[in-house]
Structures are given as structure tokens and as C-alpha cells.
Chain A
Amino acid sequence: MARVLRDLLRSNREFGIGIALLAVVVAMAAASALSPYPPNDTYVVPPDIPLSWAYPLGTTSRGQDVFWLLTFAIRNSLAFGVLVALLSRCLSLLIGLTAGYAGGMVDRALMAINDTFIVIPLFPILVLFYFVMRDRMSWVLLALVMAGLGWAYDARLIRSVALGLRTREFTETAIFSGMTARQILLQEHLPYVLPIVFSTTMNNINWSIGLEVTLSVLGFTDINTPTIGVMIYWANQHTALVAGIWWWIAFPVVLVVMTFIGLFLLAVSMNEYIDPRSRLSRFDA
């Protein structure tokens, strides 16, 4: 593992930059455990103080320390993205591999559902969902809904690969040797599609964090759990930009952009590592 990391760092600049960016982001998220203030307490520090030694990223108009608030916000946003990605990955792998391998009626039925999800406009549904749920709206609930809506593109991608794998000789040999459909999917086809899934996982985290920020900025989520979007929402509520409290908006935006770029670079470089063919062409065995 250490050797793999060293090789990746040495031969792949994208990986190095991606790791560095994500390290900063994750360190911020981890720092939330050390916060002297609970995330939802207001007026614990003097409001509207610009960047200073005592408050390195300034304070908000609600009397919160931007640095410590940001640690909670990025922790929640990251956890949200990872949860959505994991759940939707399970769905898209299950549906994509099954549809591709089974073919015929199973494939048609699953893809009909799949295509429905692809053409459904997500944003209005999520807004509608917020108005239905209102006070019962929570972070985990939103993650579940987003996972339920975000699997369709990748399921189609995985299905297209699985469709090709079905007619490969190694699949026929596997069937001939008596492997069950479940074993073939898990042992033969899953490793084949994993690099694709890995790269789309990063993109899916980006997508879900982005959508969550959009919803939160507009106030369509649980605004009492600090996330990057919720932070910007409160800054807007206090007209931070007009009042000149730019640090309240700038630092969450910078941090979430770092997350996006870091995840993207990691997706690109990990993809090359996971596929043994491109790995070997890059490192000399």
C-alpha cells in the first residue's frame, strides 16, 4: 500500500495535487472535533471581525467563528456526498450489472425505470420534496432521496459495459465451469467495471455536494445543520456581501471548490491505477 502510494505520488502529478487538496479539506473536517464552540451556538464571539490573529478567518454577523463553523460545514458536506455516492453506487451497480447480464425482458424493464429517472428533472423534485417534508427535513433524508435519484446515469453506463462482457469468452467459460450468475457478476464482472465506478463515484460526490449547496443556498434544506450551502445561506440572509463581510462567503466557496478539484484529480489518477493495463503502461510493472 505504501509502495503504491509512493509510486502514484512519483509518477502522477494529478494524484499529488488531488491528495494535497483533499488532505486540507479532510483536515478541516477532522478539526471540527476540536472546536471550542458547538456548531449551532450563536454570539459566542464578537460579530463581524475581519481576519485577525485571534480569528484567522474572521467572524460572522451571527457571532460565530468562521474557521470553526467551516470545519463543521465541510464535515457535514463531505459526509453527505460520500453517503449519497455510496448508496447510489450500490443501486447503479446492482441494476446495471443485472440488466446487462440478464438481458431480454429483465434488461428492458430495468432500463425503462432507469430512463424514467434520467429524464425526471431533479431540481424541482427536490424543492417539492422540501415543501412536503418541511420541518421533518433532515440531512440523512436528503441524502437518501438524492441517492434514490442519482443512480440512473451510472446504471446505464455499467449496463452498457456488462452487455459487452456477457458475450466475452471468459463469461461463457465461467458459465460452463458452473459459476452461478451471482458469482459471475461479483467475481468476473464487478472487477471489470470497478474503475469506471470509482471514477463516477468521485463525480457523484461532486454532483451531490453541488446540488446540496444549491438547495441550501436557496434555503430548501435543513438550515440548522451547518453545511457549506447552509453557511452561504446564512451569509446571504445577513447580506454579508453588501455589509462587506466577504470572508463569510469566500472561505466556504474556496473550500468547496478545493473539494471539487481534489476529487476530480483523484478520480482521474486513481482510474489509471485501478485498471491494470493503463497502470502498467505508466509504471514499468
Chain B
Amino acid sequence: MSILTVSDLRAYYITRAFGIEREVRAVDDVSLSVARNEIYGLAGESSCGKSTLIKTIAAATRPPLRLMSGSVTFDFAGHRIDMHAATSSDIAAIRWRHLSYIMQGSMSVLNPVRRVRHAFIDFAHRHIARPMPEFLDIVRAHLRRLHLALEVLEAYPHELSGGMRQRVTIALATVCRPDFIIADEPTTALDVVVQKDVLAMIRDIQQEIGSSLLFVTHDLAVHANLCDRLGVMYAGRLVEEGPTADLLRSPRHPYTAHLVTSLPRIGDATPRPSLSGAPPNLADPPSGCRFHPRCPLAMDICRREVPTMQTTGTAHRVACFAAQ
């Protein structure tokens, strides 16, 4: 039973200036689904469309980003909502309460001139319709559950360390006990020790609430630690998807294979070859498979046709002619 279903999603950045129209195909034909109580990881290098994809999923699209086709459907315990067909009041009703979003660069999610308490009141109070003292009790109980000192409520964001700020942000996003949490690179700016704590905190809260998590980062090590399933994006397309352990152990797509072999291993000093070339310009992507100019296995068909996601094995999907 999936809580999130994304089908054939296309979201482009369209800019028009001085008569020149540019179309950046940041998300192209992405389909995926996330089950209840599952942690779904989304991997890929910078500018491959990860953030655009989750913005579109959260219906936080603002011009120049535009939804071209496809749909995003959430199913919150029988309450189905199509994010791009629903009215804005419907979407406002589910946000934070059912669907919450830890933004990228969440170090600055908190307003530097407002105390942390006000961030909770401003962002979450409307979604927990309780009188203020009772609401603050809920917040305090939540912070205590996350082992955060209650003093943070009276602090300004700049008085907190990076790790603390990140934890506060996560507490803020989970205080309404949402069914679905989107986290966009929440650990990227942190060192590994703090990262470990924050990841443990995310997992704990996810298990306690029983919510699903869509976790985005370029760091495969984090994915390996946290995620049940992993999707790999390249140049705006989902190229491979599967259970994390299975995908990391036996990647089928040459891009994923390269990602995995590039990971350092303790005791292994062999040099890691880098892929030739650079990620394509999404305003003018290559024909056929977008990976073919860099792919060691590229065949004739790769230049002409776009590979579709094919299921191989039980839950493993891959978009590659060579792997099928």
C-alpha cells in the first residue's frame, strides 16, 4: 500500500527573456512510489533534478518551475489528494499536518531575528488547533522526546550550533507527527559525528510516528545507513531503483555501478577512475539515453531511443538497454 504515487512526472524550468525561450528539463518522466512506513532514498549528483523533483512532489513549485505533465498523489489513511489538481486550501490543510518538508539548507529555515519558540508558533500552531499553553506543552514534550534541551525554545538560531539547529529543524518538521516527511539534504552541511546523531534522530522519530520518509542526498553512505529503498537519478531521470542493499551490491545501471565503485573502501588503495565528461546541460539534453555520451557500454540504440524503466528481479527497476 503506497502512500505516495508519482507517475510520469515532468517539471521544467521555463524562462522567457528578450524573445529567447529556454526550457530546462529538470525532471523528466519520473515515476515512483513510496510505501507506508518506508524510507525512500533519492540519490544523484548535484543538478540532476533531485530538489526539483521533491519540490514538485510537495507542490512547492513557483515560476519559473512548472509542472508539464504527470501527477503526484498522496494517500493519507484513505484521504487521497492529487497535489497538482487539489485546491490550495486542500493542500494547505495537509501540509505540516500530514506532509512535512525539511528544506535544503535547513540551517537557515529559522528566522535569525526570531526566537525558536516563534518558529514553532508561526509554522506549526495553525496545524495543531489547540490553545497556546497546550500547544507549547506539546512542543516541549516533543523536544523532550527528541532529547533536546527545552532552553532552545528561548534561543535565537545563531546561538545554536549547526547540529542543534538541524535537530531543531527536524523537531519543527515532525511536531505535528506527519504521515510523510520530505527531507532535502538535511545532513549535508554537518560533520560525520553530528550526521550520525541526526540520522539516528530522524530514524527514531520516523519509527515512532510510523511515517514515511523521502530522503534526498548525494551521499551514498548516508543512504546505505538509512534507506529501505533507493532511487538513483541522472540528468532529470530516474535511472535505477531498488532495495538499498540489493542496489548497492549489484547495481545494474552503468551510472549506478560507477557511483558504487567510486566509494572508498578501507584497506583498498586502488585508484578510482572518474567518468569522462560532465553531466549534460538539461536545457539541451542528449538524444536517447541521457547517459550515453559518458557510458562505457553505449550502443547504437542508446543514441536513438529513450530507455524505459523495466523491472528486473523482484523490486528492482532499471532504465538501461544494456542491462535489460
Contact = CB atoms under 8 A, between A and B. Distances in A.
Contacts of A169: 103-106, 108-109
A191 B111 contact: yes
B101 interface: yes
A277 B112 contact: yes
Given A192-B113, A277-B158, A176 B108 contact: no
A176 B111 contact: no
Contacts of B60: 172, 175-176
Contacts of A285: 159
A186 B244 CA distance: 45
A178 B60 CA distance: 11
Nearest to A194: B113
A122 interface: no
A170 interface: yes
B135 interface: no
Interface string B120-159: 0011101100000000000000000000000000001011
A176 B100 CA distance: 8
Contact of B156 (A174, A187, A276): A276
Contacts of B289: none
Contacts of A183: 122
A177 interface: yes
B258 interface: no
A52 interface: no
A179 interface: yes
A168 B95 contact: no
B309 interface: no
Contact of A177 (B95, B106, B110, B118): B95
Given A173-B103, A178-B95, A178-B127, A168 B122 contact: no
Most chain B Cβ neighbours within 10 Å, of A173, A192, A276, A285: A173
Nearest to A175: B60
Interface residues of A, number: 22
A2 to B, nearest CB: 20
B103 A177 contact: no
A188 interface: yes
B129 to A, nearest CB: 13
A275 interface: yes
A256 B124 CA distance: 50
Contacts of B111: 170, 188, 191-192
Nearest to B102: A173
Nearest to B119: A170
B185 to A, nearest CB: 12
A177 B118 CA distance: 13
Contacts of B110: 170
A132 B88 CA distance: 52
* CB-CB nearest 5 A-B residue pairs: A177-B123, A178-B92, A170-B111, A169-B108, A169-B103
24 contacts: A169-B104, A169-B105, A169-B108, A170-B109, A170-B110, A170-B111, A170-B119, A172-B60, A172-B103, A173-B123, A174-B122, A176-B60, A176-B101, A179-B122, A187-B118, A191-B113, A191-B114, A192-B112, A192-B113, A194-B113, A276-B112, A277-B156, A277-B158, A280-B158
